[in-house]
């Protein structure tokens, strides 16, 4: 069993070294697709692989599929620049390489580091997704503003997590939620949904209760509280922006951007 790791980047010089270093000794090839970074991302990556591709697109779906097409091997390990294999996951993957299961893909949990601690609750963990899969069983697709791996086949859960270096600050987190809420609002608009009064008053409250109490955000200390509050805030933003779009009467085309 030979594995190609596929990584998509844009201005990722601060995090890409840890990602690529963690792949050493585990994967048989690294394919990096860069969406015209203006920093040192490509230069850094060239020290780890000779398969560094510059791509003009900012469409995440297109970049992921392009990277998959450049792979020399049948098994794809899909990572982001701010992710890395934990030592335990590396050992688990090496055991799989030596003795593969009769499956077509593996669900890998992801644990995020945020505000100085690993988040083990708050709806952020285990966040299992197919990350290692046979190339002929998975293709990246877009549904309006959502890009995801369309996987068909048998899968198995792995125990050990990917490590994710989440937002470096609360400001970065808020900026991300601002962009995300806009995409979610446009998704609803394309479905001709409208914002109701209860969406502004009750939906954010229910989201906070779900994340902080039901998903165990309180167990993650201050970061869990921040995650819960900002999650509720993003719900309010989503419906506020939906109402704004309806007032403007904008016609929106479905696209998905990396940046």
Q: Inform me whether the pLDDT recorded for 259 exceeds 80.
A: no
Q: Which of 118, 208, 219 is nearest to 162 (CA)?
A: 118
Place of tokens 């109490």: 213
> Looking at per-residue confidence, does 247 or 96 come out higher?
96
The verdict on residue 14 lying in a domain is yes
Q: What is the mean pLDDT of residues 39-60?
A: 94
CATH code of the domain in which 144 resides: 3.90.550.10
> Looking at per-residue confidence, does 143 or 86 come out higher?
86
Q: What is the mean pLDDT of residues 173-191?
A: 91
The 10s digit of each residue's pLDDT in 129-147 is 999 999 999 999 988 778 8
Q: Inform me whether the pLDDT recorded for 29 exceeds 70.
A: yes
The verdict on residue 255 lying in a domain is no
Same domain, residue pair 89 and 105: yes
160 and 86 in contact (C-beta within 8 Å)? yes
38 and 45 in contact (C-beta within 8 Å)? no
- In the 8-state DSSP scheme, what is residue 10? S
Same domain, residue pair 90 and 10: yes
Q: What is the mean pLDDT of residues 180-198?
A: 89
Same domain, residue pair 140 and 216: no
pLDDT confidence band for 208 (50 / 70 / 90): very high
What pLDDT does 145 receive? Answer: 76
- In degrees, to the nearest 5, what angle opens at C-alpha 193 toward C-alphas 213 and 215? 10
Burial class of residue 18 (count of CB atoms within 10 Å of its CB; 0-12, 13-18, 19+):
middle
Same domain, residue pair 21 and 48: yes
What pLDDT does 57 receive? Answer: 87
Q: What is the mean pLDDT of residues 223-239?
A: 97
* Residue 84 half-sphere exposure toward CB, CA atoms < 13 A: 15
Q: Last residue of a domain, which of 150, 165, 180?
A: 165
């Amino acid at each position: 069993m030979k594995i190609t790791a596929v990584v998509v980047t844009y201005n990722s010089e601060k995090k890409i070294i840890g990602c690529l270093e963690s792949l050493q000794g585990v994967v048989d090839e690294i394919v990096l697709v860069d969406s015209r970074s203006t920093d040192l991302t490509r230069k850094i990556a060239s020290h780890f692989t000779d398969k560094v591709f510059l791509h003009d697109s900012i469409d995440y779906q297109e970049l992921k599929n392009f990277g998959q097409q450049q792979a020399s091997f049948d098994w794809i390990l899909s990572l982001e620049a701010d992710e890395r294999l934990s030592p335990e996951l590396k050992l688990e993957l090496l055991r799989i390489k030596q003795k593969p299961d009769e499956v077509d893909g593996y669900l890998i949990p992801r644990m995020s580091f945020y505000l100085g601690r690993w988040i083990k609750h708050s709806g952020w963990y285990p966040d299992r997704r197919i990350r290692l899969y046979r190339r002929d069983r998975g293709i990246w697709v877009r549904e309006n503003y959502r890009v995801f791996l369309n996987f068909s086949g048998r899968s198995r859960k792995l125990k050990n997590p990917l490590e994710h270096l989440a937002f470096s600050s609360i400001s970065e987190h808020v900026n991300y939620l601002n962009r995300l809420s806009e995409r979610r609002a446009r998704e609803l608009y394309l479905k001709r949904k409208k914002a109701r009064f209860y969406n502004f008053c009750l939906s954010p409250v229910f989201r906070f209760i779900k994340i902080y109490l039901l998903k165990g955000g309180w167990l993650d200390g201050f970061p869990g509280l921040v995650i819960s509050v900002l999650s509720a805030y993003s719900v309010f933003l989503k419906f506020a922006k939906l109402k704004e779009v309806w007032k403007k009467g904008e016609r929106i085309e479905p696209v998905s951007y990396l940046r």
